[in-house]
Amino acid sequence: MGYNTKIPYIFHSPQKYANSFIDRRPKFLIFTQIQGMTADGNSLRSSYNVFTLAIAFFAIQGAFDLAHSVTAFPFVHYGMFSEKFSAPDSLLRYEVIVDGLPLSPDDFRIYRWDMIQGPLAAFDKQSRTGDFAFDKQKIRAVLPGIYSQVSTNLDNLPDLAAGFPDWYLGYLGRLLHRPVYSFLVSRAWYRYENNRFILLSKTPWISR
Amino acid sequence: MENRSYYTRDRNLLLGFYFLFYYAVLLGLFLDDRLLVQYRPIFFNYNRDLTELFLIATGLPRWMIVHPASFAIADVAAFLLPLPLLVYVGRKGRFSAIAGVVFLLTVVLYLLLADIFWQVHYEPFVLFLLLPLAWTTNRPARFYALLTACRYYVLYIFVSAAVWKLARGAVFNSQEMSRILLLHHTDLLTGPCTSLTCRTYGWLIGHPAMSQALYIGSALLEGSFLTGFFTRRWDRWLIALAVVFVIADLFLMRIPYWTILLGVFPLWLRSPATSRPKEKRIVLYETTHHENLPALLDLCEAQFNQVAVFLKELSYHNLTAEGSPEQRWPQTDFFIQTTDCPNRRFIRQLFRFVRRHGFTHLHLCTLDNNLLFFAVRLTFIGPVHLSLTVHEVNEYFFRSFNNLRDWTETIAKQSLRRQIRHYHFFLPAMADQFHKRLPGSITVFIPSRFYSGHRVPPPTPPPAPSPQKDTPLVTFPDRTPHPISPVESHLSMQIEFPKKTLTPPFRIVIPGSVDANRRNYLGVIETLKLLQTKPIELILLGNAATEAGATIVTAFQSITGDHLTLRHFSGYIPESTYERELAQAHLIWSPLNIHKKSSRKSPETYGLTTASGLTADLLLNNIPALVPTEFIVPEPFQQAIYPYRSPEEACNLILRFAQDPAAYATIRDKIHVAFTCFSKENFTAAFAELIRT
């Protein structure tokens, strides 16, 4: 059988085909789809502006990554739980009782449960931080001129604390797709010990 | 301009892929009551993001809280603003920079607001901003450059996650994952915790080594994206890893991170400039119509650096009567689908082969089954030039919704017509007809095979009338031994011996399966009844071992006698036998029912919307052929085709051939000369058009 005379491939897999070239035609490039940086570089060079923008984008991205806690959308961190967690002393859970019945995460899709819990955590944080006073203080320290002009915009509405329970009552009704007449949110603190959760305290927080 | 068609296709793919994700996200928001109008917030949050801070400083979030109708406006804008962009592309065939920029800004604003109000965690959505940048340009080079940049961003997402885990020492913290689970699933774990997932989380928390192994595994998975910065070779694997990551994230962390899969698009897509090697390589896919392959293979070997053919075992064994296919086409690789290899598996491997070995062209010689499967695979084949041989024009446009197969094929054909712009036909009239139906497509006529004089035996005049009446002779075709292929063993041939034969008979061959739907055998019988004065040997050169075939054979048998010998075949006829029978014939008769129904019941017209195998058979030799007068005789074949209106006319034509050997020899000489136009050189330009990118 001559050099160019081929035998047919009774089909098993293309890998066999590729392997067959190793002995018979060494000049043939197996897996020719190998694309290196050179080819991509050419593509980018063909559009200098895009190349420059891409470089700038990645440079800013890198800078924000080094800045740790601050981001500037769309330059965000992809930490994906990379923070080194220490053993928690206690674990907080917002327990929601609607019309006398407790809500359980098992009864909701992931995001729907997030939407029940999210506003509570956010409102809790807003209350605890004095409407994010620390952040505003930082802005005032760094950009005092701008802060004086926009300070009103930086504040949440003054009647938020009073209005939140009513809003949450209505919101739960929209979320559960049924009328909600009353609810009670408690802050329950747990400790994890010996593979068990121990309830430390449970305090009623918001109700209607 | 060479890459323009790829650009158009890739641009449309990006649009489709992007908006599939985009509207899936909006639908998800709606179903989970997360649209702004459904949430109707009364406060906003600080998330330590400077862009958000800027937006808060403008007063917009505060204003929206005071004016809740603005939430509805934001949602409606998110739903509707893609429309101007899509309509513009649909009408003009290019992007509107204004529509692109407006859409982009809207998406940015919506994401920022969502994070400010209910903390959407927009990390996986950044690609929703970066990919639309490709719509701000109509220059292919810039388009691909932007997609390349997006690809690097996707790699960056994963690699930076791995780097963070490494840099912060999380991977070295033996309790890391169990603590993450503890904090992340507090809601679940402090409840009844009866579900399997909850108990799994509990078990993992109680076994930190196991959970940390998963954490390290995820870091390795993320880190493996680093390879993408140096080579695109593993991009498909990276896509698979991204899917694994999303699935694991869902089950282990209860985080539906699927939106990040939008990033597989730039990983999957390759710029034609970078992915198309300089060498031209083509793969041909054929099922059972192997008789149509020779011309394409001749042309492919001349114009491509590499040729591979995927075909059925039966087709391979019957591809040529002269030696083996690999001897006739030494530069071609043949991949054979054995009978135990399922079609879909074979097709899957075909596409894998095309992608893995960087083939630049894919020609589908026959596409009669698995249409939807092909349509889907072709959608994702990347920058490969596609072309298709259409055997039945009407069928290709036929819509039917009678059953599931009809539904899928109708949808698939729609998709195929959009994806494939280059078509090949066996008749010029078919190419013209098709082009009218699909303007803008490239349609070329290339015959099934090229005419080569060396195959043609010297014209053998039919036997002159002999006065001898008692010569009991039957002359049979040459019995030269030939290699027996596996299929030939199933062949059987029946010969109806005449009681006595006057002279060596005039051989008439009716090629093709013995099928009353395709051919009018009654007309043949009528004609043969008129030919009582002339010894005839009739050969039904097709499988007659069917119910319909048996009926037809019986009808012929009823008129056999001194002047008529009948031979017919049961089973598949090997190509060597087939070609030998044709070579020994004096006349080919193709009594076509001009109007027939395709296998899917679409009406077809021979010579206009579908080609008979006759055009392939004719080019094997220089034998005249009889066809019904309604048959639209293709111009290049006119010298060989003799139309008839009635049995009487057919009878006269046969007698003319049979009784005047000198005239018959002249006819064959003329056909020989006419057929020299069917040379490879004369169809090189048409083929170049078919494969032009």
Output helix, strand, coil percentages for chain B, rounded to the nearest 5.
Answer: 55, 10, 35
User: For B154-178, what is the mean pLDDT?
Assistant: 90
Helix (H, G, I), strand (E, B) or coil at A118: helix
B312 beta partners: B337
For chain B, state the CA radius of gyration: 34
Which pLDDT belongs to residue B340? 81
Alpha carbons B252 and A80: distance in angstroms, whole number: 13
**Residue B470 predicted with pLDDT over 60:** no
- Which of the residue ranges A94-103, B447-456, B606-615 would you say has the lowest mean pLDDT? B447-456
Share of chain A above pLDDT 90, in %: 45
Q: What is the mean pLDDT of residues B61-69?
A: 95
Q: Does A63 touch chain B (CB under 8 A)?
A: no
Q: Are B429 and B606 in contact (CB under 8 A)?
A: no
Contact B338 A197 (CB under 8 A): no
Given this model, what pLDDT does residue B489 score?
38
pLDDT of the residue at B484: 35
Q: What is the mean pLDDT of residues B27-35?
A: 92
Sheet containing A196-207, strands listed edge to edge, beginning at the edge strand earlier in sequence: A101-102, A91-98, A183-193, A196-207
**CB-facing half-sphere around the CA of B12: CA atoms within 13 A:** 16
Where does the pLDDT of residue A24 fall: very low under 50, low under 70, confident under 90, or very high at 90 and above? very low
Contact check, Cβ <8 Å, B273/A46: yes
Burial of B44: CB neighbours in 10 Å, binned 0-12, 13-18, 19+: buried
Question: CA B503 → CA B131, B389, B497, B539, B630, distances in Å?
Answer: 80, 45, 14, 17, 34
Say which residue, B6 or B5, is predicted with more confidence. B6
Alpha helices in B279-370, H assignment, sequence order:
293-303, 313-317, 325-328, 343-356
Measured CA to CA, the distance from residue B563 to residue B545 in angstroms comes to: 25
Answer whether A111 touches B (CB < 8 Å): yes
Residues of B in contact with A123 (CB under 8 A): 43
Minimal C-alpha gap between B151 and chain A (Å): 11
Q: Does A32 touch chain B (CB under 8 A)?
A: yes
* pLDDT score, position B59: 94
CA distance B485 to chain A (A): 15
Region of residue A68 (left: phi > 0; alpha: psi -120 to 50; beta: else): left
Return the pLDDT at A53.
76
Nearest CB to A14 within list B108, B274, B353: B353
Look-up of token digits 């870091």: B219
For β-strands B492-496 and B442-445, DSSP reports them as unpaired
pLDDT confidence band for B276 (50 / 70 / 90): low
Residue B343 sits at the chain A interface (C-beta within 8 Å):
no
Residue A39: its pLDDT value, please?
Answer: 35
pLDDT band, residue B486 (cuts 50/70/90):
very low
Give the lowest-confidence range in A189-193, B16-20, B90-94, B388-392: B90-94
Helix (H, G, I), strand (E, B) or coil at B666: helix
Residue B277 has a pLDDT of: 53
pTM to 2 decimal places: 0.56
Q: What is the pLDDT of residue A124?
A: 95
Q: Scanning the structure block, which residue is given the tokens 């008769």?
A: B589
Q: Is the pLDDT of residue B194 over 60?
A: yes
Task: Give me the mean pLDDT over the B667-692 stretch.
Answer: 91
Q: How confident is the model at residue A150 (pLDDT cuts 50, 70, 90)?
A: very high
Residue A192 touches partner B, C-beta closer than 8 Å:
yes
User: Torsions phi, psi of B32, nearest 5?
Assistant: -100, 15
pLDDT at A42: 43
* pLDDT value of position A81: 84
pLDDT tens-digit map of B238-274:
999 999 999 999 999 988 888 999 988 999 887 666 5
User: Confidence class of residue B614 from pLDDT cuts 50, 70 and 90?
Assistant: confident
Q: Tell if the CB–CB gap between A157 and B233 is shorter than 8 Å.
A: no
Q: Which of residues 210-229 of B touch A (CB under 8 A)?
A: 218, 222, 229
> What confidence score (pLDDT) does residue B365 get?
93
- B126 contacts A119? CB cut-off 8 A: no
Asked if B332 is an interface residue toward chain A (Cβ–Cβ < 8 A), one would say yes
Label residue B432 by pLDDT band (50, 70, 90): very high
DSSP state of B460: -
Paired residues of B442 in beta bridges: B422
The mean pLDDT of B566-577, rounded to a whole number, is 87
Domains in chain B: ranges and CATH: 4-273 (no CATH), 276-450+682-691 (3.40.50.2000), 455-677 (3.40.50.2000)
Separation between Cα atoms, residue B305 and residue A7, nearest integer Å: 18
What are the chain A neighbours of B270 within 8 Å (beta carbons)?
Answer: 33, 35
For residue A157, the chain B residues in CB contact (below 8 A) are 42-43, 62, 65-66
As a whole number, the mean pLDDT across chain B is 85
Q: Which of B44, B113, B354 to mutate to test the interface with A (most CBs of A within 10 A)?
A: B44
SS3 assignment, position B542: strand
What confidence score (pLDDT) does residue B466 get? 43
pLDDT at residue A120 above 90? yes
Say which residues have a Cβ less than 8 Å from residue B476's Cβ, sequence separation at least 6: none
